[in-house]
């Protein structure tokens, strides 16, 4: 265990007198989402103590140096010991082994959750290792950037973003309500659905778009007729946005596709059919089909802006450096 020395009050410290929802929060993984949670929890006074676990000594030192946690551990079981909330914030492919490691130290009444982008696999891999008396409430905050690491987080990441809870059948309503209160206090909007439906929805809204971005950027880099320097030099706005998405953490996204393969393949099949229809419209000069599709998709963009999930600012609302 590495423990933080006494530190001055952090700029994201909670106001004095705040009443915490949890006594000890253990974040297993302290990258973008984990470090943003730590900042938001501390800013709102939602926990008495925040600890983390990370494999890398450099990451553990960074979490302490940034004032994100009181203690950091290499062993996730040490971090989870005594915690009344444990949140898995590592790539979803690691969840099964972590759940097995922490299962023996979880205290009755504790809540185990996560931030993974797939939920069926989480229920499958984590659920069997949760002992009786411990509450398992998977969650997915739909928020993020292409950055990673403990320094990349910020307390406002979850503001006005959705967090979907997917409690398994028979989950304790009080635990679900308590976790919901945490996410609401961090600025998120909370919805509840079953894991299978979540994975289908996210396959089309997040997973397939990322796969398309990875593929387009990869295709551009492989074109023999276009040099790498030309791809960079003449990148238009659309390609730049694809490169932003394609810069996302490769380990995390590898695990997402492998753990949500059925829903992704189903959506890819539908996408391929629609793409074939577009090819046919272009080949036969069917301008009406193209115009009608582009009109419908433009309306969806406007709906996303009106729902507060994006801004109408240039460059798709990206913050300027």
pLDDT along the chain (321 residues), means of 10: 50 54 97 96 96 95 95 97 97 95 96 96 96 97 85 93 95 96 96 95 90 86 69 72 84 90 92 93 93 88 73 54 39
Q: 208 and 131, same structural domain?
A: no
Of 244, 53, 27, which Cα lies nearest the Cα of 139?
A: 27
pLDDT score, position 309? 65
Among residues 193, 213, 234, the one where a domain terminates is 193
The pTM of the full predicted model, rounded to 2 decimals, is 0.80
Please state whether 187 falls in left (phi above 0), alpha (psi between -120 and 50) or beta.
Answer: left
Neighbours of 160 (CB within 10 A): 12
SS3 at position 191: strand
SS3 at position 286: coil
pLDDT score, position 7? 42
- Long-range own/partner contacts, residues 241-244 (CB < 8 A, 24 or more apart): 241/316, 242/212, 242/213, 242/216, 242/217, 243/213, 243/217, 244/146, 244/318
Question: Does 113 reside within a domain?
Answer: yes
Q: 129 and 247, same structural domain?
A: no
Q: 250 and 120, same structural domain?
A: no
- Start-to-end CA distance of the chain, whole Å, equals 36
Q: Give the whole-angstrom CA distance, residue 87 versus residue 24.
A: 11
Share of the chain above pLDDT 70, in %: 86
Instruction: Work out how many domains the chain is built from and give that number.
Output: 2
Of 38, 62, 40, which Cα lies nearest the Cα of 50?
A: 38
Do 243 and 235 contact (CB within 8 A), yes or no? Answer: yes
**Residue 266: which domain range?**
197-285
pLDDT score, position 311? 64
Do 90 and 109 contact (CB within 8 A), yes or no? Answer: no
Task: For residue 86, list its beta bridge partners.
Answer: 26, 112
Q: 234 and 208, same structural domain?
A: yes
Question: Does 224 reside within a domain?
Answer: yes
pLDDT score, position 320? 45
Strands (E), the chain: 2-3, 22-28, 47-53, 71-73, 85-88, 111-114, 135-136, 139-141, 162-165, 189-192
Q: Which residues contact 71 (CB under 8 A, 6 or more apart)?
A: 1, 2, 3, 4, 49, 51, 52, 64, 79
pLDDT score, position 177? 97
Q: 176 and 38, same structural domain?
A: yes
Q: Which residues contact 300 (CB under 8 A, 6 or more apart)?
A: none
Q: What is the pLDDT of residues 33-48, one digit of tens each?
A: 999 999 999 999 999 9
**What is the Cα 202 distance to its own chain's centre?**
11
Among residues 149, 170, 193, the one where a domain terminates is 193
Q: Residue 9 maps to which CATH number? A: 3.40.50.720
Q: Residue 216 maps to which CATH number? A: 1.10.3660.10
The pair of three-digit structure tokens given for residue 308, joined into one six-digit string: 């507060």
Q: What is the pLDDT of residues 190-210, one digit of tens each?
A: 999 999 999 999 999 888 988
Q: Give the whole-angstrom CA distance, residue 100 versus residue 128.
A: 9
């Amino acid at each position: 265990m590495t423990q933080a020395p006494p530190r001055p009050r952090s700029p994201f410290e909670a106001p004095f007198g705040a009443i915490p929802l949890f006594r000890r929060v253990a974040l297993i993984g302290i990258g973008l989402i984990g470090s943003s949670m730590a900042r938001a929890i501390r800013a709102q006074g939602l926990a008495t103590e925040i600890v983390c676990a990370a494999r890398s000594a450099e990451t553990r030192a960074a979490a302490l140096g940034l004032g994100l946690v009181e203690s950091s551990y290499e062993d996730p079981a040490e971090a989870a010991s005594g915690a009344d909330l444990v949140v898995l914030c590592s790539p979803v492919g690691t969840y099964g082994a972590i759940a097995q490691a922490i299962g023996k130290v979880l205290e009755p009444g504790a809540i185990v959750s996560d931030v993974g982008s797939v939920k069926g696999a989480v229920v499958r891999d984590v659920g069997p290792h949760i002992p009786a008396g411990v509450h398992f409430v998977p969650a997915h905050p739909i928020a993020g950037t292409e950055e990673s690491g403990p320094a990349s987080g910020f307390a406002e990441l979850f503001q006005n973003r959705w967090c979907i809870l997917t409690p398994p059948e028979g989950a304790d309503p009080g635990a679900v309500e308590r976790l919901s209160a945490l996410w609401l206090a961090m600025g998120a909007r909370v919805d509840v659905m079953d894991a299978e439906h979540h994975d289908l929805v996210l396959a089309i809204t997040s997973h397939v778009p990322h796969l398309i971005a990875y593929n387009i950027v990869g295709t551009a880099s492989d074109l023999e007729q276009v040099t790498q320097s030309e791809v960079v030099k003449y990148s238009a706005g659309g390609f730049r946005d694809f490169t932003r998405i394609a810069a996302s953490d490769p380990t995390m996204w590898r695990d997402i596709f492998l753990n949500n393969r059925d829903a992704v393949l189903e959506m890819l099949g539908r996408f391929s059919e629609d793409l074939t229809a577009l090819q046919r419209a272009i080949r036969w000069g069917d301008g009406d089909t193209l115009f009608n599709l582009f009109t419908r998709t433009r309306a969806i963009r406007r709906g996303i802006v009106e729902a507060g999930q994006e801004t109408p600012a240039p460059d798709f609302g990206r913050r300027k450096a």
